[in-house]
Chain A
């Protein structure tokens, strides 16, 4: 069975790992799996072929760096090549005479109208004066849809009944010009690239208003057809960017690579939800991780970095290293996790098996559970929090009453706390290798350097990486530094980690 890509890559590289050194045959074997995996991720057949060829040439031709294990090196090349193919993100081009026209095109149901509204909201927040044009007179109520969204956002929507789209857009343009609008977003009808009449129509629109951006809106779930679609639109229109929608689903989004390869235009935005603020800028490393089935670990790390109090975390870390982990610390950790955002959003970002497991969890229930734990710990006295062993039956009853829970709930919290404490203690005894073990199970990142049967320098992979593997190194060390629970393990290398992080931010 072809399951998640992560597992398969891990399997492949398990095999190679045991060999110690890479041979051409090893690379071939690995590339066969990489090829199948990419095809499973909906990357186009021909694009995969070229991609695999490139990786192979690099992998076989290259000297194996002393610092890296062969498996690491292959994964690194695959990942880097993927990031490279996806290309750097680019901002919207808002130059030229005002109003700057953004033309949204794409297949039916790809998400143009929602994207138009999201873009309008996004640009207004940047201080632009935005007007929308409803240039889809064909689909029933498409115009009302944009009008409704415009109303929600309080952004004007231009529409005139019975006016053909090219003329309609030209009129909207004049109106926007006179009204002092700086951006005009044109929502067009969904069309197949094979529909000559509609393709001519959209060409005519582009001729009339000379858009600053022609954005192809593509559903992240699209399959092999992505290439034909991209070619069709590229041949007809001067495309300037891509928007990948419905990225909040579990499609890998391999089509992004196909379309990038065919059109060469940059990916400008990702649509990540039905709400109008669910528009994100794109990060090639995150998308590459996703296509490789590694989950959005980087996104999680970013969130963690934004939300977590570094100093507090370090203080905690030291206490835990000394084996002093109280219920207060436990509560603190829970609070930090909750700062990351709604639990459901976090669960969705987890890679591989974890991610699949996470989707079985009811986010509301998880949220409730966290609240309960917090209430229970809040109902304890200071002394109880610092010395949980004094909590006897009578105290438990009081705590349960105080927090509106039951004695069973209190027991459960205490049990979880003791379990966490035990885990930390064990990790402390294991030293840095223990952390590696923890991360070995952490989805695809495991492949990047911390497998359980690692025969390299124990737990010191990060030391081995710096020069050779900028993106992946920081990815890993950042994962290590930023995740709340396993944090204490990174302690010996903390300074190094911090430095690296600064460098990253500046970029």
Chain B
């Protein structure tokens, strides 16, 4: 098996260097001062943790500092790590209750759905499962071609309709095709849509319903792909998609950029949605299972090699 943890570390190393590298210097063996708190606030905000969560964390840290008699800034780091870690849950094991198990992949435009689907397909193949892709993004120019290219590269069948055709119909056909072929998993690539677009969200609900008609109980999972560079809007996105189509898990794409993905904390805390995977590059193997320890450590651990 590939050592994806290293992959993860590599990806996050950049993150650390850009912002959290400073945390090590910041939380050196010095006294905790007002400035320490200000700097800590700056770091958490700049990691896109959001104002509410940041202020909340600072409150908790201050309380613990008082209660536990912490005086040195380097001790604070351990406490911060604990608090951050406590906000995250390890992803649940993914179940494939039926053949085919239908997974609907949703998200806003440009979040990275199609690339993520390719990575998921590769991952499922590596686990020995047969995969079928449904090109239900019939709107965006060449979205079907994009998925087909991936299908060819990975040797995975792609069910597609005509551009502009009904995404529900494509989904139905794909699920039926998977039933006929005995595929283990159907990954449905939907068109990107802003969560504020009423009609498009209604369309997505329909895709969901149609999947259920092709196979009772489907979709078994609905995964939201979130761009890790997204700011506070990520929470609104996740909430809207959850309300509309019952999102069951989140995939954090493009975490290999300089993005920190701090919104993951708020999403998990506020909406109770697990983070399942993280995207760490553009290749088909650049997808890692979300590991809360690695996530928090990656963010906060001083980068010794770089330092």
Chain A residues at the B interface, C-beta cutoff of 8 Å = 1-2, 36, 39-42, 44-46, 107-111, 113, 138-142, 144-149, 152, 192-194, 219, 221-226, 228-229, 232, 246, 248-252, 254-255, 274, 344, 348, 359, 361-364
B262 contacts which chain A residues (CB < 8 A)? Answer: 223
Q: Which residue of the partner chain, among A149, A221, A364, contacts B199 with CB atoms under 8 Å?
A: A364
Would A221 and B233 be within 8 Å (CB), given that A348-B196, A363-B199, A364-B199 are in contact?
Answer: yes
In the bound assembly, the distance between CA atoms of A147 and B145 in angstroms comes to: 12
In the bound assembly, the distance between CA atoms of A252 and B230 in angstroms comes to: 12
Would A219 and B142 be within 8 Å (CB), given that A2-B52, A249-B195 are in contact?
Answer: no
B256 at the interface (CB under 8 A from A): yes
Apart from A224-B46, A251-B236, A363-B198, list 12 A-B contacts with CB within 8 A. Answer: A45-B42, A45-B46, A107-B254, A107-B257, A108-B110, A141-B146, A222-B231, A254-B231, A274-B139, A274-B140, A344-B199, A359-B196
Q: Could you jot down 5 A-B contacts, CB within 8 Å?
A: A110-B110, A145-B142, A224-B46, A246-B108, A248-B196
Would A225 and B233 be within 8 Å (CB), given that A110-B110, A140-B150 are in contact?
Answer: no
Q: Which residue of the partner chain, among B149, B198, B282, contacts A141 with CB atoms under 8 Å?
A: B149
In the bound assembly, the distance between CA atoms of A305 and B50 in angstroms comes to: 38
B65 to chain A, nearest CB (A): 22
B46 A44 Cβ-Cβ under 8 A = yes
B194 A225 Cβ-Cβ under 8 A = no
Q: Which 7 interchain pairs have the tightest Cβ spacing?
A: A223-B231, A109-B110, A140-B149, A141-B146, A42-B231, A148-B141, A145-B142
Chain B 31-59 interface residues, beta-carbon cutoff 8 Å to A: 42, 45-48, 50-52
B145 A144 Cβ-Cβ under 8 A = yes
A228 contacts which chain B residues (CB < 8 A)? Answer: 18, 258
Q: Which residue of the partner chain, among A39, A146, A249, contacts B108 with CB atoms under 8 Å?
A: A249
In the bound assembly, the distance between CA atoms of A228 and B15 in angstroms comes to: 11
B231 A194 Cβ-Cβ under 8 A = no
A249 B229 Cβ-Cβ under 8 A = no
Q: Which residue of the partner chain, among B51, B141, B258, contacts A192 with CB atoms under 8 Å?
A: B258
B259 A225 Cβ-Cβ under 8 A = yes
B231 A251 Cβ-Cβ under 8 A = yes
In the bound assembly, the distance between CA atoms of A36 and B55 in angstroms comes to: 10
A223 B229 Cβ-Cβ under 8 A = yes
In the bound assembly, the distance between CA atoms of A316 and B231 in angstroms comes to: 47
In the bound assembly, the distance between CA atoms of A361 and B282 in angstroms comes to: 39
A140 B14 Cβ-Cβ under 8 A = no
B161 at the interface (CB under 8 A from A): no
Chain B 130-172, CB-CB to A under 8 Å as 1, else 0, gives 0000000001111101101110010000000001000000000
B45 to chain A, nearest CB (A): 5
A370 to chain B, nearest CB (A): 16
In the bound assembly, the distance between CA atoms of A94 and B279 in angstroms comes to: 39
Chain B 241-276, CB-CB to A under 8 Å as 1, else 0, gives 000000000000010111110110000000000000
- B interface residues, tally (CB under 8 Å): 53
A246 to chain B, nearest CB (A): 6
B189 at the interface (CB under 8 A from A): no
Would A192 and B108 be within 8 Å (CB), given that A144-B145, A147-B142, A248-B194 are in contact?
Answer: no
In the bound assembly, the distance between CA atoms of A255 and B234 in angstroms comes to: 14
Q: Which residue of the partner chain, among A2, A45, A219, A364, contacts B45 with CB atoms under 8 Å?
A: A45
A225 B257 Cβ-Cβ under 8 A = yes
A230 to chain B, nearest CB (A): 11
B146 A145 Cβ-Cβ under 8 A = yes
Q: Which residue of the partner chain, among A41, A152, A359, contacts B232 with CB atoms under 8 Å?
A: A41
Q: Which residue of the partner chain, among B45, B50, B111, B258, contacts A229 with CB atoms under 8 Å?
A: B258
Closest A residue to B193 by beta carbon equals A274
A203 to chain B, nearest CB (A): 19
A352 to chain B, nearest CB (A): 14
Q: Which residue of the partner chain, among A140, A225, A362, A364, contacts B258 with CB atoms under 8 Å?
A: A225
A221 B149 Cβ-Cβ under 8 A = no
In the bound assembly, the distance between CA atoms of A36 and B237 in angstroms comes to: 21
A219 B227 Cβ-Cβ under 8 A = yes
Q: Which residue of the partner chain, among B14, B42, B150, contacts A194 with CB atoms under 8 Å?
A: B14
Q: Which residue of the partner chain, among B150, B153, B231, contacts A255 with CB atoms under 8 Å?
A: B231
A250 contacts which chain B residues (CB < 8 A)? Answer: 195-196, 233, 236
B111 to chain A, nearest CB (A): 6
Q: Which residue of the partner chain, among A144, A222, A248, contacts B141 with CB atoms under 8 Å?
A: A144
In the bound assembly, the distance between CA atoms of A273 and B139 in angstroms comes to: 13
B51 A39 Cβ-Cβ under 8 A = yes
Would A111 and B110 be within 8 Å (CB), given that A139-B146, A223-B263 are in contact?
Answer: yes
In the bound assembly, the distance between CA atoms of A221 and B232 in angstroms comes to: 8
Closest A residue to B46 by beta carbon equals A224
B198 A362 Cβ-Cβ under 8 A = yes
B112 at the interface (CB under 8 A from A): yes
B146 contacts which chain A residues (CB < 8 A)? Answer: 139-142, 144-145
A225 B48 Cβ-Cβ under 8 A = yes
B78 at the interface (CB under 8 A from A): no
Chain B 175-205, CB-CB to A under 8 Å as 1, else 0, gives 0000000000000000000111111001000
Closest B residue to A251 by beta carbon equals B233
In the bound assembly, the distance between CA atoms of A454 and B184 in angstroms comes to: 66
A232 contacts which chain B residues (CB < 8 A)? Answer: 258
B145 contacts which chain A residues (CB < 8 A)? Answer: 140-141, 144-145
